[in-house]
Each structure stands twice: as structure tokens, then as C-alpha cells.
Chains A and B, each alone.
Chain A
């Protein structure tokens, strides 16, 4: 068994603008099953953070419990990390974000961790619009406990043992839109061309950004009859658009045919450029987004790509009008300004 990746890398790989190599964004060698979709998502996260020139120490990874929640060990080894309690990552993330609003927050969760045990926390996280990129590595089963159907398993999907799931599935992306999330996307671990720009856009979005990534469980849910197998997803995938995330002050290099493109300007000045593949769909209009998802569901297709974006999203700090300086930087003199300040306040109340 190989426990360590060799230290050599391709000698001609470029450095990013910070002078870091892609290697500087890697983590330990994965101990997930060979072929797990989660590893591809990890690789996409590494690539996205490398390309976005994120300083590794300016990012915190938070996760719950499950195969998905193990993955933060396998990427961004130089960033902060917190592997929390099952389904309770949102609380920890909220606390961390309130204490230090200067960090970027990346929440990593699974379908069990989010749609079952963590559902309560998940919906409140959306309600509060915490500034976090929340990725669900969705394989439709409990891989860590030998592959029982999870709450996102589609009705009628067949397990490896042959039993058919009798229950309605929870559509996390649909739920997120319904609850008012400002950035909702769905992708597939096997489609990095789509996933990497989605992650970049999600990280740039100010507020709750949700990506539901279908990530096949190669050990327990990659069988014929499963709706989350590599084969099934590839055959039923339907994208909202091909698109490109254009960071601030970068030239557009992708070519789009006229008439089909749309731009969404992001909060920080960067923007997303779309080449739409869906009719009657506008990612900035909630009702068209919901409609497109329903239509795809009825056709038995899996709609991927950015589904909905609200560029005017206000995050928790804006809603609460908190101090612009992170709490962890406020000193005792800031927090206890003294008797004079108290007297001033008292006077103003008279």
C-alpha cells in the first residue's frame, strides 16, 4: 500500500500568481475507495483554489462525518480545518465565520450529513445566509456504513443488493432555492470542466453558495439500476449552460456565440459568463430556475450547472450589521471602552 504520494511533480507545471505550485494546495493521500467520486471533487477544489490564487492560510475547511467529510484531509493541507460532529458542521461554521469574517469558508458535507442528520442545521444555515461555500458530495448512499439508501437516493433506484428505494428523494438544490439560497448549482464529480468554474464562482459569491455534486460511490452505488452510478449520470446529464468564471481584471478567453450568452456580475467585480443550453431559463430569475429543474426531473434528466444566482445576496454579517473587523481582532479596549462610553450612551437615552 502506498501511503505517500511521490514528491516529484511535472517539471513544467506553472506557478500561480502567489508563486505557489498546485502541489501546495494538495493534502494527504486519499484513503477513500479507489475510484471514489469524492477524490475527483477534491482534485477540482485543489485546482480551483490554485487558479484563484487563494492564500492557503486564508481558507478554512469544515466538515461533518462521513466519507465526504473525510476529504478535507486530502486537499488544501496548508489551510485551516475542523472535522466536526455529524450534521453539525453548519453550527461550527457559523461560529467560526462570526469570530473571523476575514477567512473564506468551505463546508464539505455528504448526503447523509446534510439531508438526514444535518437537515435542521442545513436549512438554518441557508436562512441565515452565512458566507460559506457548501459542497455536498452526493452519492445517494451511506458509503461509510456499507451503502444503505440515503435521503437523496432517487425513488426507484436500485441498491447493490437489489432492493428498490421506495421513498421520495430530497432534492437538496431545489430545497436550497426554495429557502432563498443566493447561489445554487449542481454538478458531477466526473465533469471537472464544469465543476472547477462552479467552485470558483461559489467561492467568490458573498453569502451561502451551494453545490450539490453527484459523486458516485464506486463500492456501494455504482451498480446497474442505481441513478447515481458513473454510467447513469453520464447518460442522463443535462447542463443548464457551459460557462466560465472570469475573475476580476481578467480578459475573457472563452469564445461564445452571439445571442446565447449572458453575464452575471459578482459582488467582487468578477463575473460569470454563460452560454445557455436551456430555453426559458435565466439563472437570475428564481421561477425559471425552478421550472428548469422540474422540467428536467420530469424528463428523467439530471440538470447540472449553475441553476440559480442572486447577485444581490446579503450575508449574515450584512444582515446583522456586525463590526467590519473580525471579532478575533477586537482587543479589550475595543470591547470594553470604559465608563465614559457608558455614560455617553446613557446620556443619549435621556
Chain B
């Protein structure tokens, strides 16, 4: 293998599994250390800079970081990254003084943002301090988009959301709420320098052809529309017996909200097997904890309506069968159909994009799925001044993805408004600093604790089920947060190897608890992976390979289960190993005009 080029910013970035997996690349270990040091405000600001909504995401994020966490590869469970983020938000002091504060000197450019959700708000936050005049349009009464309309208050209290939305709106954003944009042409005619579309995926899927669907319309609801009506207090109750059809996180929000609005026998009914449901495991657990059974492998067949009144639904029982190509299909078990009683049915079977307000003669291209043609790097549409981001760009994903899109769209808009090439984007800001303080002392807490993942306490079910707005999760207290933070392996503190200093004494090989380091003859990667001190079977994790050493061997470190404990560097007599903290920050809009 060729020696690893650690000057490529992506090499060490990939070692920080959580940060690499995060769409917005939040420097996770950096803020977890700050939480352990009780520096909640600083931890919050690291998050805010990167993901804009730490309080919201600390409660609702899909957590792509956690399945990626290295801790999950050496023991049962990853670090509770998401809930630690919430700790920073819960315990922060005055953060506003650390944020850019309006008024900002104008740069004479105007940008329109269509939709007030996480993508648009991110664009607003990134561009407003640069002097852009931002006009944000949303049909709802306040900002937040789906974070407000679709996420129930018992998961995300309104004040938490409003605080973080207001941090942005207070930057002198011209917000136009209760304003539904009916026409993109009208917006374009207003001569904005750029337009950003962040309208989400607002249409909930229906079962229009299922028998009985239109005979009991008033008791059959589309999940996300129903959740929005609850959030905006148009709906206050639901029948005692409720069926929620669907297996995603929206279904979990629907069933749990139903329990709070009068639903007693609430059931989730889903086509796929339980293990393959789209909902996050923790959201399924929370639903079941609230006495909501999840019936899997049930395919909706009919709505049963008697005398114009909904009585329930029938379902066909199926099981999953895989063909030789591994493709799954659901096959009837041959058992009789199942009838489930219901006063109300909520359909939470997915959502899709819809752009009825975009005229098709403007030159804005749509693909065969009726999604706009959007560049995946620049987020530019086929109209150069129109950008897309969030769910509206590539279909429904999640908040953190929308934020990541927003940052990149803001970079593009800034470049576009300056007449620069959108593809000449700056590299990330990186910094690599030795943590050495003494012979055996490091500037980071290198000790590895054995603690298992701590559980976030919840409020009593008897209380939370009575009040739709009572938050279920109480969040970690600071003592537990410290202990959970200590579980973090500090994967951003990199093991940096300098071959010119190595005397091949094997001290690092002997001390490494997880047998990551080997000194072996060089080979091609596949062969090398088999000939190390421990097999390097996880090909998603790189091998760190040195140049040839005096004995012609090479140092090979398998990054897979490195604990970043620093023992290799402590036992190295020549400091050929050093522990160096790697900070990787995605370049945001505005960094283009000056070198950081």
C-alpha cells in the first residue's frame, strides 16, 4: 500500500466516525469534552455554529452519528451523543452574546427564502451576518416548518424551538408569515438576487384506492396534516380507538399524540416486519412504553364503514420472503383477514414533495420523480439564481440533513451573488495540535472508562399522557451527563505517526490494548488486512500505513477499534507517535472572502 496521506483533510475526518457520519459534520468529541468540563455555553456554541438547532436536535435528531460511534464497535452501545447535545442546550448560559448580532452592514443583496423550516433558517443564519437582506416566507404563523408542525410538543417543547428560531429571526430577517407563496414567477419578478426554496416534503401519502376510504372521510386523517392541526390547536381530541397505519417516525408521533388526545386503544399497524420498520428503535420503544402495540406484517385491505361511520379496518396478514437476489416481498400467510376496530385512522405511510406553486414554464427543470433538478454540491437549480435545500431538494430526509443543505446552499448563494464560480468552494478549516503536556500527560482525558450507556430519565407516564405539552424526556442531569461524556473515546485526538523518529522498538505494538498496530512487510491492502496482529475485517475503516522503515517493514494501524487512549504515544521513547487533536470545520458562507 502507498503511505497514507494524512495531509488530506478527509483522512483524519473519517477517523472521527460520529463527525464524519453527521451530515453537518458537527465536531462531536469537541463539544462532548466541553460538556464534561461543565462548559455548556461553549459546547452549545460549537453545535450552534455547525447544526444551528442544538436544543431541537438534542431531542429530535435521527442521530446518524450514533450507529457510527466507535464505542459501539467495542461494546454494546454507542455514546448518547444526541442527548448530550441536549445537555449543552439545557444548561447553557447567555449564548446570544456569542452570536452575531444585528444590525449588520448591508451588502446591497436581497435573498428570498421560501419556507421557514430548518433549511431556510440555516441559509438565513449564514447569510444575514454577511449583510444580505433576507426575506423569509412561510404559510404558518411562526417559523420552524416541520419542526413546529410535525414534531409533537412532548418531544420538543415549543419554547425550545422558538428560542432557536428566534436567534435567527432576530438577526434582522424580514419574515413574512401566514404568507403562502403561490407563484415562483411572482417571486422572481421581485428581482431578488437569489431565491432559496426550502418548502420540505409537505404532502402526506394517502391510500386513495382502498375500499371505504372516501366513505368516512372525517375520521380518516393524513398523519402530518393531523399533527400540524394538533400543533396549531385546530384539533384537540380523537376517538378512543385509533389505528395508526405506517411504521416511520411520523407514525410514532401520531400514535403517541393520539394517546394524549383521548386515544385509549391506540394501535400501530405496519406492513413490514418489526425489525425493518423505518422508525428509529428508540421511538418504537417510547411508543410501546405508552401501551401502544405495534402490529407488524399487516397490509391494509379495507376501511370498514357502517351507516357512514368508520368501524375499523381489515388487514391481510403477510410474511416477508426474500428471493435469490435478496429482494424482499410480502407474501400472504393465507390466514383469515384481521379486523381491527377504530373510531379514527391516521395514515402515516410517508410523504412526498409537491411544487404546485412552481410554474413549469420558468425554465426550472423537474426530473421524472417530479423533483427539481438540483446540483448535489451547489444546490443550484436550472435557474441559476434559484437554489433548493432540505426535503424539497432530494426528498424527505431529516432535520440535520436540511441544515447541512442550508449551509452549502448559503455558500453557493454567497458565491453566486459575488459573481464567483460555485464549484470553487473552499476546503474545510482543519487544525491538528499536539496534546502532549509532559512525558505521560495529555491535554485531553485519555482514560477509558468501562461504564455502559446511561439511560435518559423520563417523566411519569401518568403525567405525560395527560398533557400533550409535557415533555417526556427529562434530559440527563449534569452528573450523569459527565459520566456519559466520559464514555466518549475522543476519536478526534488522532494518533499521528512520524516514521523518521521510529526506532521499531515495538513498544506501541506491545501496549496497544486493542492490537491496532502492526509492523509488517508491505503488501496490497487486502493481503495486509489479513496479516496484522488482529484481523482488519472492517473495510469501512482505513488502514494508516507509514512509509518504509529502516527494516523495510511498514507501520500499519487499523483505525477500526483504536481507543485513542494514547498509550502508544506514552510508551513511544522517541515521540514517533503523538496524540494530536484534529478539528475539522465545514466552511460556511462568508469564509470565502478572507483566509481563516
Residues of A bordering B, CB below 8 Å: 1-2, 4-13, 29-30, 33-37, 39-40, 42-43, 189-190, 192, 216, 218-219, 222, 230-231, 234
Partner of B561, one of A1, A10, A33, A43: A10
Closest 10 CB pairs of A and B: A35-B573, A6-B448, A1-B440, A43-B510, A10-B534, A35-B505, A34-B573, A10-B515, A40-B506, A218-B573
Given the contacts A2-B446, A234-B550, A40 and B510 also touching, CB distance less than 8 Å: yes
Main secondary structure of the interface of B (DSSP, over half): loop
Tell me, in angstroms, the Cα distance from A37 to B440 when the chains sit together: 19
Given the contacts A9-B513, A12-B537, A43-B509, A35 and B563 also touching, CB distance less than 8 Å: no
Partner of B505, one of A6, A13, A37, A42: A37
Q: What would 9 A/B residue contacts be, using CB atoms closer than 8 Å?
A: A5-B513, A6-B567, A7-B448, A12-B537, A34-B570, A35-B505, A37-B505, A40-B505, A192-B506
CB distance from A14 to the nearest CB of B (A): 10
Interface residues of B in 501-516 (CB under 8 A from A): 503-507, 509-511, 513-516
- CB contacts (< 8 Å) of B570 on chain A: these are 1-2, 34
Most buried by A among B505, B513, B571: B505
Partner of A34, one of B450, B516, B535, B571: B571
Verify B513–A12 contact, CB threshold 8 A.
Answer: no
CB distance from A223 to the nearest CB of B (A): 12
Tell me, in angstroms, the Cα distance from A4 to B73 when the chains sit together: 21
Verify B504–A9 contact, CB threshold 8 A.
Answer: no
| Closest residue of B by beta carbon distance from A189 | B506
- CB contacts (< 8 Å) of A219 on chain B: these are 573
- Chain B interface residue count, CB cutoff 8 Å, equals 37
| Closest residue of A by beta carbon distance from B534 | A10
| Closest residue of B by beta carbon distance from A46 | B510
Interface residues of B in 544-589 (CB under 8 A from A): 550-551, 561, 563, 565-567, 570-574
Verify A222–B503 contact, CB threshold 8 A.
Answer: yes
* B75 part of interface (Cβ distance < 8 Å): yes
Verify A230–B505 contact, CB threshold 8 A.
Answer: yes
- CB contacts (< 8 Å) of A30 on chain B: these are 511, 571
Main secondary structure of the interface of A (DSSP, over half): loop
Given the contacts A13-B534, A234-B550, A234-B551, A8 and B506 also touching, CB distance less than 8 Å: no
Tell me, in angstroms, the Cα distance from A103 to B565 when the chains sit together: 37
Verify A2–B566 contact, CB threshold 8 A.
Answer: yes
* B441 part of interface (Cβ distance < 8 Å): yes
| Closest residue of B by beta carbon distance from A234 | B551
CB distance from B29 to the nearest CB of A (A): 17
Verify B571–A39 contact, CB threshold 8 A.
Answer: yes
CB distance from A228 to the nearest CB of B (A): 13
Verify B565–A2 contact, CB threshold 8 A.
Answer: yes
Verify A42–B561 contact, CB threshold 8 A.
Answer: no
Verify A8–B514 contact, CB threshold 8 A.
Answer: yes
- CB contacts (< 8 Å) of A10 on chain B: these are 514-516, 534, 561
Residues of B bordering A, CB below 8 Å: 73-75, 439-441, 446-448, 450, 503-507, 509-511, 513-516, 534-535, 537, 550-551, 561, 563, 565-567, 570-574
- CB contacts (< 8 Å) of A2 on chain B: these are 440, 446-447, 565-567, 570
Tell me, in angstroms, the Cα distance from A42 to B570 when the chains sit together: 18
Verify A5–B515 contact, CB threshold 8 A.
Answer: no
Verify B515–A33 contact, CB threshold 8 A.
Answer: no
- CB contacts (< 8 Å) of A1 on chain B: these are 439-441, 570
- CB contacts (< 8 Å) of B504 on chain A: these are 190, 230, 234
- CB contacts (< 8 Å) of A192 on chain B: these are 506
Verify A35–B574 contact, CB threshold 8 A.
Answer: yes
CB distance from B488 to the nearest CB of A (A): 13
Partner of B572, one of A4, A34, A43, A234: A34
Tell me, in angstroms, the Cα distance from A33 to B97 when the chains sit together: 49
CB distance from A25 to the nearest CB of B (A): 13
Tell me, in angstroms, the Cα distance from A189 to B73 when the chains sit together: 32
- CB contacts (< 8 Å) of A11 on chain B: these are 73-74, 561
- CB contacts (< 8 Å) of A12 on chain B: these are 534-535, 537
Tell me, in angstroms, the Cα distance from A29 to B446 when the chains sit together: 15
| Closest residue of A by beta carbon distance from B514 | A10
- CB contacts (< 8 Å) of A222 on chain B: these are 503
Tell me, in angstroms, the Cα distance from A7 to B74 when the chains sit together: 10
CB distance from B553 to the nearest CB of A (A): 11
CB distance from A40 to the nearest CB of B (A): 5
- CB contacts (< 8 Å) of B566 on chain A: these are 2
Tell me, in angstroms, the Cα distance from A8 to B506 when the chains sit together: 20
Partner of B503, one of A35, A42, A43: A35
| Closest residue of A by beta carbon distance from B561 | A10
| Closest residue of B by beta carbon distance from A218 | B573
Verify A8–B505 contact, CB threshold 8 A.
Answer: no
Tell me, in angstroms, the Cα distance from A105 to B338 when the chains sit together: 73
Given the contacts A11-B561, A39-B507, A6 and B513 also touching, CB distance less than 8 Å: yes
- CB contacts (< 8 Å) of A39 on chain B: these are 506-507, 510-511, 571
| Closest residue of A by beta carbon distance from B558 | A10
Tell me, in angstroms, the Cα distance from A7 to B449 when the chains sit together: 8
Tell me, in angstroms, the Cα distance from A231 to B439 when the chains sit together: 24
| Closest residue of A by beta carbon distance from B564 | A6
Tell me, in angstroms, the Cα distance from A40 to B572 when the chains sit together: 13
- CB contacts (< 8 Å) of A9 on chain B: these are 513-515
| Closest residue of A by beta carbon distance from B569 | A34
Tell me, in angstroms, the Cα distance from A281 to B440 when the chains sit together: 47
Tell me, in angstroms, the Cα distance from A9 to B533 when the chains sit together: 12
Tell me, in angstroms, the Cα distance from A218 to B537 when the chains sit together: 35
- CB contacts (< 8 Å) of B550 on chain A: these are 231, 234
| Closest residue of B by beta carbon distance from A8 | B74
Most buried by A among B74, B446, B566: B74
| Closest residue of B by beta carbon distance from A192 | B506
CB distance from A307 to the nearest CB of B (A): 23
- CB contacts (< 8 Å) of A8 on chain B: these are 74-75, 448, 450, 513-514, 561, 563
Given the contacts A12-B535, A13-B515, A234-B551, A5 and B506 also touching, CB distance less than 8 Å: no
| Closest residue of B by beta carbon distance from A235 | B550
- CB contacts (< 8 Å) of A5 on chain B: these are 511, 513, 567
Known: A8-B450, A231-B550; 8 extra A-B contacts, CB below 8 A, are A1-B439, A6-B513, A6-B563, A11-B73, A35-B503, A35-B507, A189-B506, A231-B503
Partner of B510, one of A6, A33, A42: A42
